[in-house]
Structure 1
Amino acid sequence: MTIRIDRRHFLMGSSALIAAGAAGISPAFAQAERLRLLFWGGQARADRTYAVTDLYQAAKGTDVEGEFLAWNDYWPKLATQTAGGNAPDIIQMDYRYIVEYAQRNAIAPLDEFVGGALKLDDFDADQLEGGKVDGSLYGISLGANSVALMVNTTAFEEAGVAAPNRDLTYDEIMAMGEAFNSANVRGGMKVIMDGSGSEPMLDNWLRQKGLALYTADGKLGFDADAMTEWFQLWSQMREAGVCVSAEDQALDTGPHETTMLVLGKAAMMPSNSNQLVGFQAVMQDDITISSYPRLAAGVGGGHYRKPSMFFSVAGSSANKEAAAEFLSFFVNDPEAAAVLGVERGIPCSAAVRDAIAPTLSEQDQIALNFVANLGDLLGPLPPSPPAAAGEIDISLLRTLSQEVGFGARSPEDAGPYFVKEATAILNRA
């Protein structure tokens, strides 16, 4: 999913979270018969989620009151509610932020409920590990996914170009882009969006080089030369008309509807495997997913099975055990699993995967098979990003991507500047 949030709102959310930690917010009074749930996503995710909360109320008698927002609105609201002692009982949490929220006691450890209210007997070990901070379990993975390219196969057919497969390289994207331009697909559709500001795509590219976005101790895992090369790669694509222009890319404000794929300006965009269902729901063209491009033939290891997102329980919740019971239902109940499908990723319970596999739609089957068959593309799960990673992504990487795109900076200037400023942000944090 392409995500954007401006610096002012990001810093507002972070400041609110810091204030919550400093103030030692105490639990708000809660009604035992009602749980509050906050999550990010679009209407399709909301429909599935609310169908499961209805199932839960019918089965357990507990009302779960849900609210959803777009990604760029979600984090400021969550941080503000947390600071005000009014956080929802159940919080959808991201791998990027789980360390920060756990260390500030904004979410609660769940270990005491495992084996009781929270059943995780056949949960995938790597997905359990991904929800731990300092050895304690703070998040229950709602599905495993991997980064993936969303591919408009209808557009590729119109261009007379074979759709990409798991052997795609960056050089082949250049060739595909030239073919799209020659065919003048839909009056100028490009083969790919501008990925220079996509942190997951940068991460994947670095991993293929044997580098890392962040090290286990929260430092940058690459140098200025690597960052310069990254900006140069996309500048070359932009100058050749292979990726979209900076003007077009600036139209992408986060929601699916504003992405280059849905707007029809690009035939491919970096995203995540679980997003296939959501993108297909808002597009007439047929789309599928493929792996991120390789640096060269035979180079792999950039992908990993990431917890797509977690459910966590607020540190201020007065209903922690009841919330843990809901989490257990959400990830284990076969009827709930049939409703959820793989929209949030591949289920982490082997029994749930087996139960829903025959019921999956074509898009769901594609996502499941993609994550299950990454082969030599698959590498180890990296450590959770440091607390300041969100600011680096939103306020630095995306800003520099636009500045290079519009010609305000050269790649040779942007690379060292990124490393210098990112290091300063990490040091301040």
Structure 2
Amino acid sequence: MSRKVLLYFLIILLLLIVKTEVAVVSNNNITISISWWGSQVRHNKTLAVIELFERKNPDIKIQPVYTGWREYWDRIAAYAVGGNLPDIMQQDYKYFNSYVDYNILRDMDDYIDSIIKVAEVDEALLESARFDGKLYGIPAGLNTYTILYDPKKFAEAGLTEPSYDWTWNEYKEICRKLHERLGIYAATSLPMATRNITGLEHYVRQHGQSLFDMSAHKLGFTEDLFVDFYKMDLELSREGVFAPGELRLENHTIENDLIVKDAAVMAAYWTNQIVAISKAAGKPLKMLPFPQAKDETRSGYYLKPSMYWTITKNSKHPEIAARFINFLINDLEANKLLNGDRGVPISFDIRQKLQPMLDDPERKMFNFIKYISNNSSIIEPPPPAQYDQVIEILEEVHYKILEGSQTPSEAYQELRMRTDRVLK
């Protein structure tokens, strides 16, 4: 989602009355469209699933629209402005509120059980896509975040691989030793601290706080936690243990991540991305949880739908769109092709059948999700519609910290002042 997206949304309500043919009927074939973001690995897998569906349903054609994460939201916003949203849209938990608030998504309750079979799906997962009692999406998979690391680099450095119960202090010392002994970065940054709010979210949750307060009109965490988190990142950046700010700006895709280039030992990602990044790196990677806090009051971890499949109000053939969504979550052949790319499948039956067929990265992902399911706390409600603006403000003040023009305390004051205006 871009900086311009909220502006786009203001005129969407006017444009939705324009009749635009999103699904076209020609030569007795129905064509629907679907959009998603992701790496080239995801693109290839999803295209293979589309081909499989079309073979099984020769009267239906699916037009794909796909790109990377950053470009995706700009493109979707442009489609929304033109009244040309795809029939099926891959949606993110963080932005769900925005699309529901602006009346862009179709209520999917009418298709549950009649078309989309959810008997093997945990009801709590479906509840995460309900707003005001209406279901607006189907989870594409189950997901959380992790630290991926190269075990060979630990061996080269003469270090024992960390345990799952490591602390932030242990993490910092290990990072220093990796940098000192190998002469490369331990990681690009503190886990998910750059161009991301998940690292900070995890840290404040460990201390019993949250990103936003109950009203969602103010930040929900105190200055001391913000300062502690970004002081750790700044400290290790100044020591050369983490990459400098200018290098972080370049390091925003899987393909050019420092761990892929053999220039870092660790990298923080969502668990479902282990398949793509292991392939890009050309080496096996292992998974670790984010470190624990010494004075932790609850686990910072939560499980979430990796993303959702939604049907837009532009769709002329929502029943056909629902059929393809059902295929994505309940067809075994389709899930063999996807192989956990969008997270652990939401269908218990599919999970059970896939387990013996998993490759090494997928097996690690399934096992890690199982571990976190027993060591997590409840996910917060979806963030406010202005979430994207909050991330942009955070990114700006974080880079000011890295370049030395603001202290972490000054950055917090600016963050709170600006977000108070945005969220009111």
TM-score (norm 1): 0.92
Report the equivalent of 1:421: 418
Report the equivalent of 2:24: 31
CA distance in 1, matches of 2:65, 2:16: 25
**Amino-acid identity (%):** 25
| Shift of residue 218, structure 1, vs aligned partner | 1.4
Report the equivalent of 2:222: 223
Report the equivalent of 1:46: 43
Report the equivalent of 1:86: 84
CA deviations over 1:281-324 (Å, ceiling 9, x no partner): 10023212111111128765111111101110111111111101
1:363 maps to which of 356, 361, 364: 361
Report the equivalent of 1:166: 164
CA deviations over 1:118-138 (Å, ceiling 9, x no partner): 111111222211222222111
| Shift of residue 192, structure 1, vs aligned partner | 5.2
CA contact (8 A) 1:152 1:287 kept: yes
After superposition, residues 193-342 of structure 1 pair within 5 angstroms as 193-195=189-191, 196-197=193-194, 198-219=196-217, 220-252=219-251, 254-296=252-294, 300-342=298-340
CA contact (8 A) 1:193 1:268 kept: no
Secondary structure, aligned partner of 1:11 = coil
CA distance in 2, matches of 1:116, 1:362: 36
Secondary structure, aligned partner of 1:342 = coil
CA distance in 2, matches of 1:420, 1:221: 13
| Shift of residue 86, structure 1, vs aligned partner | 0.7
CA contact (8 A) 1:194 1:244 kept: no
Letter in 1 for 2:309: F
Runs of 5+ consecutive residues of structure 1 not aligned to the other structure: 1-8
Compute the RMSD of aligned alpha carbons.
Answer: 1.8
CA distance in 2, matches of 1:202, 1:401: 11
Letter in 2 for 1:190: A
Report the equivalent of 1:58: 55
Give aligned pairs, total.
Answer: 415
Letter in 1 for 2:332: P
Change (3 A) 1:376 1:56: closer
Runs of 5+ consecutive residues of structure 2 not aligned to the other structure: none
Worse-superposed segment, 149-158 or 73-82: 149-158
Secondary structure, aligned partner of 2:255 = helix
CA distance in 1, matches of 2:47, 2:171: 40
Letter in 1 for 2:399: Q
CA contact (8 A) 1:108 1:314 kept: yes
CA deviations over 1:50-97 (Å, ceiling 9, x no partner): 111111111122111112101110001101101101111010000011
CA distance in 2, matches of 1:129, 1:27: 32
CA contact (8 A) 1:173 1:191 kept: no
CA distance in 2, matches of 1:332, 1:105: 28
Report the equivalent of 1:4: none
CA distance in 1, matches of 2:156, 2:197: 30
CA contact (8 A) 2:207 2:298 kept: no
Change (3 A) 1:424 1:21: same
CA distance in 2, matches of 1:291, 1:377: 10
CA contact (8 A) 2:189 2:237 kept: no
| Shift of residue 154, structure 1, vs aligned partner | 2.3
| Shift of residue 22, structure 1, vs aligned partner | 4.4
Secondary structure, aligned partner of 2:351 = helix
Report the equivalent of 2:185: 189
After superposition, residues 77-116 of structure 1 pair within 5 angstroms as 77-116=75-114
CA contact (8 A) 1:244 1:265 kept: no
CA distance in 2, matches of 1:296, 1:408: 30
CA distance in 2, matches of 1:305, 1:240: 34
CA distance in 2, matches of 1:232, 1:182: 20
Change (3 A) 1:134 1:26: farther
CA distance in 1, matches of 2:314, 2:19: 4
TM-score (norm 2): 0.93
Secondary structure, aligned partner of 2:4 = helix
CA contact (8 A) 1:180 1:191 kept: no
CA distance in 2, matches of 1:95, 1:337: 22
CA contact (8 A) 1:308 1:345 kept: yes
Change (3 A) 1:204 1:27: farther
Report the equivalent of 2:398: 401
| Shift of residue 163, structure 1, vs aligned partner | 2.3
CA contact (8 A) 1:231 1:414 kept: no
CA distance in 2, matches of 1:423, 1:292: 29
| Shift of residue 250, structure 1, vs aligned partner | 2.5
Letter in 2 for 1:282: A
Worse-superposed segment, 190-199 or 262-271: 190-199
CA deviations over 1:321-359 (Å, ceiling 9, x no partner): 110111011100111111111110011111110111111
Change (3 A) 1:104 1:66: same
CA distance in 1, matches of 2:112, 2:372: 31
